[in-house]
Amino acid sequence: MLAALTHPIPDSLHTAIDGALVLVLLLNLAMLATSRLATCIRLFSFQCLVISVLPIAAATASDAIGIHGFFLMGGTVVLKVFLIPFILLRVIRTGDIQREVQPYLGFTGSVVVGAMMIGGAFALSSRLVLPGQAMSTLLIPVAISTLLIGLLILVSRYKAITQVVGYLVLENGIYLFGLSLLHAMPLLVELGILLDVFVGVFVMAIVVYHIRQEFDHMDTQNLAPMKEPA
């Protein structure tokens, strides 16, 4: 069995962690509600900043994982808070891309569906049996809802660049899940995931840029007719 935390967490820190997790949820909803690509990416960057602090908060509760949490935070901040948003904003700027998000599902509709997903995540997580105790009871529901909302962003927006953002939000959900197993997961694996995400975004940015150069837009709907006839 894994014991995620050895010491009980002090009360004020607990409130701070809960607050940060609720902020992550609100940022998810804000990403669904915003109509600007650049705002969406900045919100994502802010969400990454919030979740990057969480390993440190967990580490202060149990001193054993100090170094681990510190590396994780450093990697997240450098890659997800600065580098990836920089690449994506640069694609928007240089690619001369129309700045509005184009949703299949209206903004109000997206927010309502997102809220239902959060409700579902809370219901689901109350049935999950976890090995050991997570640093907050909210961690698992927030992780599941971030995953689901990432998926929602991925499938409900036309543009290739919002699909990249959806993929990244989904990855944030997985990262939050990983926090509940902070002890068990080796640092190398997590750094490997971060590197993968970075390379993935790098490649996707180039692909999006070339789609834009080749076809004068990056509406993924028009990619569908390009497949071979069955």
Is 137 near other proteins (CB under 8 A)?
A: yes
Q: Give the one residue of 6, 94, 126, 221 binding other proteins; rule: CB under 8 A.
A: 126
CA distance 165 to 150: 8
Is 138 near other proteins (CB under 8 A)?
A: yes
| Total length of the chain | 230
For residue 88, give every residue at least 6 positions away whose Cβ sits within 8 Å of its Cβ, in sequence order, or none.
41, 161, 164, 165, 201, 205
CA distance 71 to 77: 10
Considering only residues 79 through 118, tell me which ones interact with other proteins, judged by CB under 8 A: 107-108, 111-112, 114-115, 118
Is 213 near other proteins (CB under 8 A)?
A: no
Measured from the CB atom, the residue of 105 and 185 that comes closer to other proteins is: 105
Amino acid, single-letter form, for residue 22:
V
Is 15 near other proteins (CB under 8 A)?
A: yes
Is 130 near other proteins (CB under 8 A)?
A: no
Q: How far is CA 150 from CA 4, 29, 63, 141, 219, in A?
A: 26, 10, 32, 14, 19
Q: What angle do CA 153, 48, 159 make, to 5 degrees?
A: 25
Is 133 near other proteins (CB under 8 A)?
A: no
Amino acid, single-letter form, for residue 180:
S
Is 119 near other proteins (CB under 8 A)?
A: yes
Measured from the CB atom, the residue of 22 and 223 that comes closer to other proteins is: 22
Binding marks (x or -) toward other proteins, 19..38, rule CB under 8 A?
A: x-xx--xx--x---x-----
* Binding interface with other proteins (CB under 8 A): 15, 18-19, 21-22, 25-26, 29, 33, 107-108, 111-112, 114-115, 118-119, 122, 126, 137-138, 141
